[in-house]
Structure 1
Amino acid sequence: MNKQNRLTGNIHRATPRLKHVLSGLFSGGTPDTNNDEYWAAAGEGIAWVAIGDMSTKDRVEVTEKRITESGIASKRLCVLPPGTLIYSMYASMGHVAELAIPATINQALLGLEFADGVEWGFAKWWLRHLQPLLIAEASSNTQDNLNADKVRNLPFPKIEFRHQSRIANYLDQETSRIDGLISEKERMLALLEEKRAALISRVVTRGLDSKVPLKPSGHEWLGEIPAHWEIQPIKYLAVVGNGSTPSVENADYWSEEGYPWLNSSVVNVSPATNASRFVTELALRECHLPKIQPPAVLVGITGQGKTRGMASVLGIEATINQHLAFIKPCTQELNTDYLYYLLGHAYAFLRSDSDGAGSTKGAITCEKLENIKIPVPPSEEQAEICTKIRHSLDVFMPLRSEIKSSLDLLTERRAALITAAVTGQVSLEEMTV
Structure 2
Amino acid sequence: MSKYQKYPEYKDSGFEWLGAIPAHWGVEYSKWMFAERNDKASREDEMLTASQKYGVIPQKLFMKMEQQKVVQVLKGHDILKKVECGDFVISMRSFQGGIEYCGYSGSISSAYVPLLPRDGISTKYYKYLFKSASYIQALQSTTNLVRDGQALRYSNFVQVRLPSPPKKEGDRIGSFLDHETAKIDQLIQKQEQLITLLKEKRQAVISHAVTKGLTPDAPMKDSGVEWLGEVPEHWIVRRLKHTATLQSGIPKGKDLKDKETINVPMLRVANVQDGYLKLDDVHHIQIEPHDLSRYELQDGDVLMNEGGDNDKLGRGAVWRSEIKPCIHQNHVFAIRPTGIEPEWLDLLTRASYAKFHFYRVAKQSTNLASISSTNIKETPLIIPPDDERRAIMEYLKGKLDKFERLEEKSLRQIGLLKEHRTALISSAVTGKIDVRHWNKEAA
Same fold (TM over 0.5): yes
User: What is aligned with 2:412?
Assistant: 405
For 1:72-87, list aligned pairs within 5 A. 77=80, 80-87=83-90
Question: C-alpha separation between the residues in 2 aligned to 1:135 and 1:375?
Answer: 58
Measured at CA, do residues 106 and 344 of structure 1 come closer, stay the same or move farther in structure 2, by a change above 3 Å? farther
User: What is aligned with 1:94?
Assistant: 97
Percent identity between the aligned chains? 22
- Residue 415 of structure 1, CA deviation: 0.4
Measured at CA, do residues 78 and 59 of structure 1 come closer, stay the same or move farther in structure 2, by a change above 3 Å? closer
Question: C-alpha separation between the residues in 1 aligned to 2:139 and 2:342?
Answer: 40
Q: What TM-score results when the alignment is normalised by the length of structure 2?
A: 0.74
Look at both structures and tell me which one has the larger radius of gyration over its CA atoms. Answer: 2
Question: C-alpha separation between the residues in 1 aligned to 2:155 and 2:274?
Answer: 38
Measured at CA, do residues 146 and 390 of structure 1 come closer, stay the same or move farther in structure 2, by a change above 3 Å? farther
- Whether 1:380 and 2:387 are equivalent positions in the alignment is yes
User: What is aligned with 2:53?
Assistant: 56
- Residue 238 of structure 1, CA deviation: 1.0
* Matched letter for residue 300 of structure 1: N
- Residue 161 of structure 1, CA deviation: 1.8
* Matched letter for residue 57 of structure 1: Y
Kept after mapping to 2: 8 A contact 1:260/1:319: yes
User: What is aligned with 1:313?
Assistant: 318
Cα-to-partner distance string for 1:124-168 (whole Å, 9 max, x where unaligned): 101111476379869997435643336633633233322221221
Question: C-alpha separation between the residues in 1 aligned to 2:32 and 2:172?
Answer: 21
Measured at CA, do residues 168 and 191 of structure 1 come closer, stay the same or move farther in structure 2, by a change above 3 Å? same
Question: C-alpha separation between the residues in 1 aligned to 2:82 and 2:284?
Answer: 51
- Residue 56 of structure 1, CA deviation: 2.7
User: What is aligned with 2:300?
Assistant: 295
Question: C-alpha separation between the residues in 1 aligned to 2:437 and 2:256?
Answer: 58
User: What is aligned with 2:375?
Assistant: 368
* Matched letter for residue 371 of structure 2: I
User: What is aligned with 1:133?
Assistant: 137
Give the total of aligned pairs: 397
For 1:3-402, list aligned pairs within 5 A. 16=28, 18-25=30-37, 48-50=47-49, 54-57=51-54, 60=57, 62-64=61-63, 77=80, 80-91=83-94, 93-94=96-97, 97-99=100-102, 102-105=105-108, 108-130=111-133, 133=137, 142-144=147-149, 146-149=151-154, 152-153=157-158, 155=160, 156-217=162-223, 219=225, 222-244=228-250, 245=252, 253=261, 255=263, 259-268=264-273, 270-272=275-277, 274=279, 276-278=282-284, 283-286=288-291, 289-304=294-309, 306-316=311-321, 317=324, 318-329=326-337, 331-332=338-339, 334-345=340-351, 346-347=354-355, 349-351=357-359, 353-356=361-364, 362-402=369-409
Three-state SS of the structure 1 residue aligned to 2:169 is helix
Three-state SS of the structure 1 residue aligned to 2:165 is coil
Higher helix share: 1
Question: C-alpha separation between the residues in 2 aligned to 1:220 and 1:289?
Answer: 37
Q: What TM-score results when the alignment is normalised by the length of structure 1?
A: 0.75
Three-state SS of the structure 2 residue aligned to 1:143 is coil
- Residue 106 of structure 1, CA deviation: 5.1
Question: C-alpha separation between the residues in 2 aligned to 1:284 and 1:363?
Answer: 30
* Matched letter for residue 114 of structure 1: P
Long gaps (5+) in structure 1:
8-13, 32-37, 39-44
